[in-house]
Amino acid sequence: MLLFEDEHRCVRNKPADMVVHPGNKHTTDVTLHDLMQSYLHQTGQSQKSPTFTPSLCFRIDKDTSGIVISAKTYDALQRLNEQIRERKTHKTYLALVAGRFDGYLDINDPLFRGYHKDTEKSHMFVNTEK
């Protein structure tokens, strides 16, 4: 879903279970990058430059939903990457968990990705040893 657009950038809400970029394990999946390229082509905005392809500014995992910013111009990509690199952007993550918690729970430990054999899906877990 397109949330915002101007001449320099697009902001989209990526649903869970959608790959952001094509990769070795997802060669036939429709990706967010594919949707962006298709949208720009349909609206007459694709390939304004022979040396630049509109690009996503960062990635989020396949199983994660969230907002992703796409740069439509080289200058916009440079500026957005600089803001991300210099930590001038703020990212907020909300995790949905199963189980019961007594009161407020604040996790300030690193999260790691694991693979659950029963569900054949990856999951995140806290590893306080690391």
Catalytic residues: 61
Q: Tokens for 110, please give them.
A: 């690193």
CB neighbour list of residue 29: distance below 8 Å, 6 or more residues apart: 18, 19, 22
H helices then E strands: how many in the chain? 2, 6
Q: How far apart are CA 67 and CA 84, in angstroms?
A: 14
Taking the C-alpha atoms of residue 33 and residue 30, their distance in angstroms, rounded to an integer, is 8
Quote the tokens at residue 46. 């694709």
